[in-house]
């Protein structure tokens, strides 16, 4: 059974009382339907199983050839390490650091932290502050794990090269697929409130009512869901700094959005990739790559790149900008629709990284001097900056601000749905 009495929703500030949950049951916020608790059956054993297997698969995917390349009698195979070392040797330090963080460092830290935590739940002598530290890091790096995006990037790279060369998938590629699936499975099993409940116990009981924390003079910790007294500055359960509404949330979000818009210009004007074929070098921009794929008849891949690299970043900036406007000057539109838009922007943002990964994969794979070679263009870094800035903007935005209008107008639980 999972016991947690009172929790505050991090998306709408509504104080929920959670009934005792059996394993396998989930609990949604009574106001915004955000999933607050989702405790799986045999969760510790399953996390142990999938986490350890993911690490094993990663070790395997690093030990064998990853992709093979052959064109006009020239053959070459690369390992997963080569994707990093080629970038490093070509002087793309930032890109290789980003790639190693997103593919190896963050996932391994995440897996080790969750495995250690699950193990430590059976061992009472493990210091509580070590456990807390692990949970905090785990939750912070979670949005930055991008192995699934990389996997799709590989498939796009295959299609992109199909007219110039044959690319074969080697043993490591299949191990990498296993690693991605098992890592995602582990991430699905991890529940934030379950972890804090295990590490730091139930959140302190408050005689809170079924309304927003702010209305009752309380503060909901957005990091662990604890409900705290109104003058708290730090959460007594997870230790994170707390605030009723994130200070300067809209200003920070808008500043990050403006910065990402500025970076969007060089990202689209300058070439993202430089292809050398039989001595002549041809730069291609993001849009150029899309048009080339389209002319080659790879319509689905052209559409994926168009959506991921052009449409999503701009749509994300526009929708977050609109949400900021709405938090300050709310319209009569339903808050539920706005919150759906917010969740969507959070969900799709990281998929824009596909094109960066495609360029990184092709750079490591296609290095045959003047015959054929591919190098990243200057737009790669500005495009990565666009994605990171929009992701930070979405994190800086406090969705609780969207609901405050309903509180002022007194719209009740049912009223919000009309």
* Site residues (vs Zn ion, CB under 5 A): 9, 11-12, 14, 29, 31-32, 34, 221, 223-224, 226, 235, 237-238
Strand partners, 227: 220
Minimum CB separation from Zn ion for residue 194, in Å? 14
Q: What angle do CA 190, 196, 197 make, to 5 degrees?
A: 105
Find the shortest distance in angstroms from Cβ 315 to Zn ion.
Answer: 24
Q: Could you tell me the smallest distance in angstroms from the CB atom of residue 30 to Zn ion? A: 7
CB of 127 to Zn ion, least distance (A): 19
Residue with smaller CB distance to Zn ion, 87 or 139: 139
CA 235 to chain centre: 25
| Smallest distance from Zn ion to CB 33, Å | 7
Residue 64 CA to its chain's centroid (Å): 28
Closer to Zn ion at the Cβ: 9 or 95? Answer: 9
How far is 144 from 129, CA to CA, in rounded Å? 24
Q: Residue 354 contacts by C-beta under 8 Å, 6 or more apart in sequence?
A: 149, 152, 153, 156, 304, 305, 308, 309
Cα torsion for 80, 85, 90, 94, to the nearest 10°?
90
Residue 284 β-bridge partners:
273
Within 8 A by CB and 6+ apart from 304, the residues are 152, 156, 354
Shortest distance (Å) from residue 326 CB to Zn ion:
17
**What helix, strand, coil percent values describe the chain, rounded to 5?**
60, 15, 25
CA 365 distance to own-chain centroid: 26
State the minimum distance, in angstroms, from the CB of residue 22 to Zn ion: 22
Residue 410 backbone zone (phi > 0: left; psi -120 to 50: alpha; other: beta)? left
The residue among 32 and 304 lying less far from Zn ion, judged by its C-beta, is 32
Q: Which is nearer to Zn ion, 30 or 285 (CB)?
A: 30
Which residue's CB is nearer to Zn ion, number 43 or number 402? 402
* Termini Cα distance of the chain: 35
Residue 33 in tokens: 């339907």
Q: Which is nearer to Zn ion, 289 or 399 (CB)?
A: 399
From the CB of 48, what's the least distance to Zn ion, in Å?
A: 26
CB of 128 to Zn ion, least distance (A): 14
Closest CB to Zn ion among residues 36, 304: 36
Residue 19 is encoded by which pair of tokens? 């009934």
Contacts of residues 228-233 at CB distance under 8 Å and 24 or more positions apart, as own/partner, are 228/204
Of 321 and 416, which has the nearer Cβ to Zn ion? 416
| CB closer to Zn ion out of 226 and 302 | 226
For residue 192, which of 411, 9, 366 has the smallest C-alpha distance?
Answer: 9
């Amino acid at each position: 059974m999972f016991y947690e009495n009172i929790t505050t929703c991090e998306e709408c500030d509504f104080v929920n009382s959670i009934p005792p949950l059996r394993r396998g049951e989930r609990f949604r916020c009574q106001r915004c339907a955000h999933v607050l608790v989702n405790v799986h059956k045999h969760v510790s054993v399953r996390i142990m199983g999938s986490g350890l297997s993911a690490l094993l698969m990663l070790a395997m995917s690093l030990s064998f050839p990853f992709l093979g390349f052959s064109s006009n009698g020239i053959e070459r195979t690369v390992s997963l390490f080569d994707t990093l070392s080629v970038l490093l040797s070509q002087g793309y330090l930032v890109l290789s650091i980003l790639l190693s963080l997103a593919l190896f460092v963050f996932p391994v830290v995440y897996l080790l932290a969750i495995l250690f935590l699950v193990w430590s739940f059976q061992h009472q002598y493990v210091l509580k502050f070590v456990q807390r530290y692990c949970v905090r890091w785990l939750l912070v790096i979670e949005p930055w794990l991008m192995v699934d995006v990389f996997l799709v990037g590989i498939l796009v790279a295959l299609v992109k090269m199909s007219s110039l060369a044959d690319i074969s998938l080697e043993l490591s590629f299949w191990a990498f697929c296993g690693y991605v699936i098992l890592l995602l499975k582990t991430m699905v099993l991890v529940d934030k409130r379950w972890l804090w409940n295990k590490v730091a116990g139930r959140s302190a009981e408050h005689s809170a009512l079924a309304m927003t924390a702010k209305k009752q003079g309380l503060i909901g910790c957005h990091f662990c869901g604890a409900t705290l007294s109104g003058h708290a500055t730090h959460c007594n359960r997870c230790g994170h700094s707390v605030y009723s509404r994130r200070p300067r949330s809209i200003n920070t979000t808008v500043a990050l959005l403006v910065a990402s818009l500025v970076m969007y210009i060089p990202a689209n004007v300058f070439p993202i990739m430089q292809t050398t074929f039989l001595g002549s070098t041809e730069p291609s921009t993001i849009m150029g790559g899309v048009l080339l794929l389209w002319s080659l008849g790879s319509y689905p891949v052209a559409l994926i790149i168009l959506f991921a690299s052009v449409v999503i970043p701009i749509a994300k900036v526009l929708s977050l900008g609109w949400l900021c406007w709405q938090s300050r000057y709310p319209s009569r539109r339903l808050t539920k629709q706005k919150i759906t838009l917010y969740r969507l922007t959070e969900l799709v943002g990281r998929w824009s990284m596909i094109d960066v990964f495609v360029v990184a994969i092709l750079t490591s794979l296609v290095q045959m001097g003047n015959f054929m070679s591919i190098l990243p263009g200057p737009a790669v870094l500005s495009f990565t900056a666009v994605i990171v800035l929009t992701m930070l903007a979405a994190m800086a935005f406090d969705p609780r601000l969207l609901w405050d209008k309903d509180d002022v107008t007194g719209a009740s639980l049912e009223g919000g749905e009309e």
